[in-house]
Amino acid sequence: MTRGQIDVAAKSRALSRYGLPKCCLVPVAARSIAAVETYIGQVAPVSHHVAPDRALLVHAYGPPELNLRLPIWALKEAAILHRPRQVWVHVDYRRYREAYAEAFPDESIANIVLDHVLNRRMARATGFEYLRIVPISREANSCSGGLPEKWGVAHQTAPEMTRAIAQSAAFIQYADLGAS
């Protein structure tokens, strides 16, 4: 699949703030469906059972060239990062588990958690309406969140950050692989 456009502001932030190599830039949040289509991939409805503006099946544009010298790409779990088909949901959509099951009917999600890669409270605080969801183990889900998420929301809702967010030119957000 072809590449989408590059959100220069989001890429610059991820490269300078997170220090990630380009092959580890993984979109996790978008301001709108238009931003998903422009920067992440082609959007299709998950199914006729799900409202098309609430859950999206995204056929991701081709990933950046992977640097196979990085140890992350030797892990089988890393395949989820640049998965060609992804489910994205509106930040307020509650039936995301059903949407994921519709999008990937051959995958068993019985013993896994579907995680909003960027916490929904953080997304609301930073103005992102659509979030990527991924299947992860309960153990992995329990290892993050809680206090760091609370601190992050408090930081993002401080008056100076609210002004900075309003002026942000970024339409998407990349994952901070250390602590989204």
Question: What is the SS3 assignment for 29?
Answer: strand
pLDDT tens across 36-92, in order? 999 999 999 888 777 778 999 999 998 889 999 999 999 998 999 999 999 999 999
Question: What is the SS3 assignment for 49?
Answer: coil
DSSP per-residue letters across 84-148: SEEEEEETT-S-HHHHHHHH-TTS--TT-EEEESS-HHHHHHHT--EEEEEEE-HHHHHTS-SHH
pLDDT tens across 103-152, in order? 999 999 998 999 888 889 888 888 899 999 999 876 666 555 554 555 55
